[in-house]
Amino acid sequence: MKLNTRLKKIGDLVEANSFCLDVGCDHALLDIYLVKQNKDIQVIASDIAEGPLEQAKKNIQRERLEEKIQTKLGDGLSTYEEGVDTVILSGMGGRNMIGICKNDFKIMKKIKTFIVSPNNYQEDVKRFFCKNGFYLLNEEFVKDGKFIYQILIFQKGKKKYSKKEYFFGPVFLQKKGPLFREYYLREYKSREILISLLPGNYKFKKMQLQKEMKMIQNEIED
Ligand SMILES: C[S@@+](CC[C@H](N)C(=O)[O-])C[C@H]1O[C@@H](n2cnc3c(N)ncnc32)[C@H](O)[C@@H]1O
């Protein structure tokens, strides 16, 4: 199995000398990449399911990295160990990620950095972290095949954001760039399709979607 562009980008965003807990590691390809970078990164690869964790162990053994990558079976942040400063949550639904943190608020508060890449509900994820002691240090887009993913880096601390900043992402709004435009053009079009499919009695929902489309238009036109 080869590391894809999305996971490589996530790996490149991990700081040197950090102690990472990868929650939902699956095959552990990201963790193998992390320790091979010679950035002095320690890693715990964890997963809730036995099948993926067995695959992770095999991949780690194949690379002879058993000494460097610890594997742990367990739900969410329950696999945390004292000293972990960075948690990676990627390739899962946003609501699952929120649930994982809500189950272990005490551990969540011990973490300095969360690197998260939710498949959906990105705005909910941003609001959740920023209401619970974190701010958005960085946001990145990565295009892998035909998909564009958001990678969000939350750091311990506080910042206030407007509705618009939560919608687009405060850092994305500052940086913009071609992937920002492409991502939100797709968001615009998906809303257009949704409006055409909604029955007539969904007036409020349609109005809300139209408002969002206007907001997107304003940001991608300039
Ligand atoms: C689609 S894979 C993503 C793998 C990898 N993180 C990535 O970004 O490609 C999702 C993995 O998360 C694991 N998972 C889902 N919920 C979890 C939880 N609450 N705790 C730990 N692992 C979980 C699943 O078993 C699965 O292996």
Does residue 90's CB lie within 6 angstroms of at least one atom of ligand 1?
A: yes
* C-alpha of 206 from chain center: 28
Does residue 26's CB lie within 6 angstroms of at least one atom of ligand 1?
A: yes
- What pLDDT, on the 0 to 100 scale, is given for residue 2? 86
Does residue 52's CB lie within 6 angstroms of at least one atom of ligand 1?
A: yes
| Rounded Cα gap, residues 219 and 222, in angstroms | 6
Beta partners for 47?
73
Task: Ligand 1, residue 4: give the atom nearest the CA.
Answer: 9
Domain at 85, CATH number = 3.40.50.150
Instruction: Tell whether 146 is covered by a domain.
Output: yes
Kindly report the pTM of this predicted structure.
0.96
Q: Is the dihedral of CA 139, 15, 75, 142 positive or negative?
A: positive
Residue (of 92, 124, 123, 130) closest to 108 by Cα position: 130
Residue 64's domain spans which residues?
5-159
User: Do residues 103 and 15 both lie within one domain?
Assistant: yes
pLDDT tens column, 28-83: 999 999 999 989 999 999 999 999 999 999 999 999 999 999 999 999 999 999 99
pLDDT tens column, 102-152: 999 999 999 999 999 999 999 999 999 999 999 999 999 999 999 999 999
pLDDT tens column, 152-168: 999 999 999 999 999 99
Does residue 48's CB lie within 6 angstroms of at least one atom of ligand 1?
A: yes
Does residue 138's CB lie within 6 angstroms of at least one atom of ligand 1?
A: no
